Structure 1
């Protein structure tokens, strides 16, 4: 157990690495347009910049426990930092879109390991009585990273060029690699672990994990742009995902030495419930970060930087609250009482946002709802994580940590995919519902068109041009009203989803007095 200066150097190193990994899940979103122009890529091609990173992440995260034991955790972490750093540099140097996609995939392989292994290192750095504090520091990265990604990305894109969203990782990565070799040590259990011979490694499980979970992530990332199951390409990968995931589950439940021990889910009811709640948390975290910037930039005309600055205070509040909640759990406050508050607060955030959406909305209208979001997320992450891992020890805790991390990531992918599809489909339905209110035979519509025509005539347009511009302006007003209704419904839908999950908390088993969470093996 490290103390003093060494302890806090380790904390700074792993929290920064965790932040970098999660920032990179969302930082590129605001740079896609610039990438398209610079790399002569289509919108469909540039979407792979996001998809490739997510696919690599979700494949690597559940395998980190095995890989850390096989090669030593410090060695694995060091190599992952190097991979992430070199891939970041290569991403910035890319000369075409497919080079960038390939390097983003490699970056995702290194990044997935950073997030999962950082949690284990933090836990080993703190004594058992401070485990909740270690988890809280890890949670700061998980919650803050995806939220400040658009802020940092917007600033860089507005002031520099898109390669710098990758170059900023390099100095931090070099420093983290040096500190890893100097200060991070393997716990005794991993030092004494005997690596599995190649013939005893669960190669079938690895292949099925890559095929099943990788294909599922690809379908979620690309389904909306490909019109879902209207595409043979999406249908093929959906079939592969079903076969791969079912085969993976069967293999891991029957193998003597599985790559991911799914049997741990049967050992703890709280872990099974916590895994689903982790999915819900990922859904809310990533879906809200996805939909809010789109609304602000497309409908209200905010810049990427403006949107990012709006999200920043709530993210900082989450970071501030994490240690506070960690202390409360450490002091004996049951997670079962915190979770209903977190779910209820997130519902009120969503409901509040749905009422604030209007054509005249400004930055001040969203400040307090987003602060409420930050508070709600902080009340969910740490209680879910500690509750899920309570009562587990050794390898079981490591497997559980990897599983919940993967499920949280998949929850985010499902959230983005479902919300994106809902916005697209609802926009069409809402436009259709509003159309009967606009008729050329309606006196109010005729009066509106005449007023618009006169306005354009006064600006020097011919009569024909003025009439065409008047119809276009009326269509624009219709689309804007449609969008406002759709985004309001979307926020409300996210809130209702959280509200419906509240009854699950009744199934949580109260930990025995004095029971501790052994996370020393969590990877």
Structure 2
């Protein structure tokens, strides 16, 4: 007879089957954070919207994902982990189907919000199910399998999304979730049991009533939702010169100002504000915010650059990002064995490498080849795992066991909302700097400039030669204008990389301010 300590909370249920099923469902959810990135050009064309409007498909998902993280722990506790997980999968599957059949941008964004709400609930509950399925001694093995799914999904997403967009349509980036979701729904309902101990605990909680911070949740929804509207619409509506933007900024700021004192005076607050004011956890929160901005922004802006300026197909643009994903998988294993190194040094090193990846992109020219972009992503794939794993260890340092679930939710919230802010920042810099560079370049065009005269003469000679063979097209001035536009756009992308590089630079001194973490704390956090 096996000892009771060799079993998890679910008794005789096979923990590895549970781990595989949970990992597949989580893979599907994490995949959706990147699968649409390379399809944005198709979405933009198919729905007749601009590229920055199409980027809302990413940001709305991330914000909705962040919002539900604040309440997922309470919902799972009151209604049961398995029940909540199944509802999330069902809602995610249905919303994916609706996204695939969206008839305009507004409909797609609504369905993406629903999809994000469902996906945000899946991630923390999946971790809780895994912790319950395995005995403490084997729990790390289950989380290793789960970790592989979480790491592989963002790497596979761009390539898969590119192939689907090129060979089928962008709709399939969402429709592909439907069969996976239905299969997961059936298998998890059959193979993942309910915990009898948790059922008794839920009954006890229900006798106390719904002790949920509804006011706090409403305020955080208004704050994050209003801020997202400002970030997404700001560039289009000329930021604070627009009454619309000023109104939503005021609503968002008011919600935040009301939220802070409300949470500080709650016996069981939705978010423990005091955690964020602590030096250790507060710094980790800011670092994760910046890391999310760096990760999601680069994953969105790179395929856009490759498709718009270098003529890559969506599939090839996805493949240019994939080598970085493979390196990230390898680095997750390597970093897992570096527990003897203080997290602050690993985070600082990862941020420095990420900064180098951005600096390397400043050399981009119109002649850059596939491997130039692939290597920049590989550098990022080396740096980011040095941040993601140690930041978990550092963030739990000094946090009591009763607060670990909330700490995990806040760190995930920082990553997702940071990603949304990173995308908004990138699109704003791109939109603002492109006309700036174009106006500066035009200043050098004139008959007084010998370089311009020489270039114009060469182009005219080329066109005259083609005219003699009956294949001339366009005029020399039109070609010059096209060259100026292309150069201005490329310079604007370089400015985006500068902005992201500055974010990475700031992370280095922030990481070094973290205090020394004992190895025992790091070991505990791994579980």
Do these two structures clear the TM 0.5 threshold for a shared fold by scoring above it? yes
2:3 aligned residue: none
Q: Distance in 1 between matches of 2:238 and 2:45?
A: 24
Q: Distance in 2 between matches of 1:97 and 1:291?
A: 20
1:291-440 map, 5 Å? 291-329=301-339, 332-355=340-363, 357-440=364-447
1:192 aligned residue: 201
Structure 1 residues 275 and 97, CA, compared in 2 at 3 Å: closer, same or farther? closer
Shift of 1:400: 0.7
Deviation by residue 1:3-60 (Cα, 9 ceiling, x = unmatched): 9993333333333333322322332343345445555667687555444423321211
CA contact (8 A) 1:205 1:259 kept: yes
* Residue 84 of structure 2 corresponds to residue 76 of structure 1: yes
Structure 1 residues 93 and 436, CA, compared in 2 at 3 Å: closer, same or farther? closer
Structure 1 residues 221 and 123, CA, compared in 2 at 3 Å: closer, same or farther? farther
In structure 2, stretches of 5+ residues that fail to align are 1-6
2:174 aligned residue: 166
2:256 aligned residue: 245
Shift of 1:317: 1.8
1:469-484 map, 5 Å? 469-484=475-490
Shift of 1:382: 0.8
Q: Distance in 2 between matches of 1:126 and 1:391?
A: 26
Shift of 1:138: 5.1
1:7 aligned residue: 15
1:498 aligned residue: 504
1:34-49 map, 5 Å? 34-35=42-43, 38=46, 48-49=56-57
* Residue 70 of structure 2 corresponds to residue 59 of structure 1: no
Structure 1 residues 128 and 210, CA, compared in 2 at 3 Å: closer, same or farther? same
Deviation by residue 1:419-443 (Cα, 9 ceiling, x = unmatched): 2211222223323333333222223
Q: Distance in 2 between matches of 1:127 and 1:280?
A: 35
Q: Distance in 2 between matches of 1:120 and 1:221?
A: 33
Which of 272, 275, 279 is the aligned partner of 1:264?
275
Structure 1 residues 44 and 366, CA, compared in 2 at 3 Å: closer, same or farther? closer
Q: CA RMSD in A?
A: 3.1
1:2-151 map, 5 Å? 2=8, 6-35=14-43, 38=46, 48-125=56-133, 128=136, 139-151=147-159
1:510 aligned residue: 516
* Residue 224 of structure 2 corresponds to residue 213 of structure 1: yes
Q: Distance in 1 between matches of 2:522 and 2:138?
A: 11
Shift of 1:243: 1.0
Q: Bigger CA drift: 362-371 or 219-228?
A: 219-228
CA contact (8 A) 1:135 1:326 kept: no
Q: Distance in 1 between matches of 2:347 and 2:43?
A: 41
Deviation by residue 1:138-177 (Cα, 9 ceiling, x = unmatched): 5555554444332211100111123221221122212322
Q: Distance in 1 between matches of 2:361 and 2:412?
A: 28
Q: Distance in 1 between matches of 2:196 and 2:516?
A: 30
CA contact (8 A) 1:25 1:54 kept: yes
How many pairs were matched up? Answer: 515
Q: Distance in 1 between matches of 2:47 and 2:508?
A: 46
Q: Distance in 2 between matches of 1:409 and 1:192?
A: 31
Shift of 1:364: 1.9
Q: Distance in 2 between matches of 1:145 and 1:242?
A: 35
Shift of 1:126: 5.2
Q: Distance in 2 between matches of 1:37 and 1:486?
A: 22
Q: Distance in 2 between matches of 1:297 and 1:116?
A: 35
In structure 1, stretches of 5+ residues that fail to align are none
Q: Distance in 2 between matches of 1:453 and 1:272?
A: 61
Deviation by residue 1:266-306 (Cα, 9 ceiling, x = unmatched): 5x542222111111210110121122112211111111110
Shift of 1:100: 3.1
CA contact (8 A) 2:359 2:497 kept: yes
Shift of 1:93: 3.3
SS at match of 1:225: coil
2:4 aligned residue: none
Which of 188, 192, 195 is the aligned partner of 1:183?
192
Q: Distance in 1 between matches of 2:35 and 2:519?
A: 43
Structure 1 residues 261 and 461, CA, compared in 2 at 3 Å: closer, same or farther? farther
Q: TM-score, normalized by length of structure 2?
A: 0.88
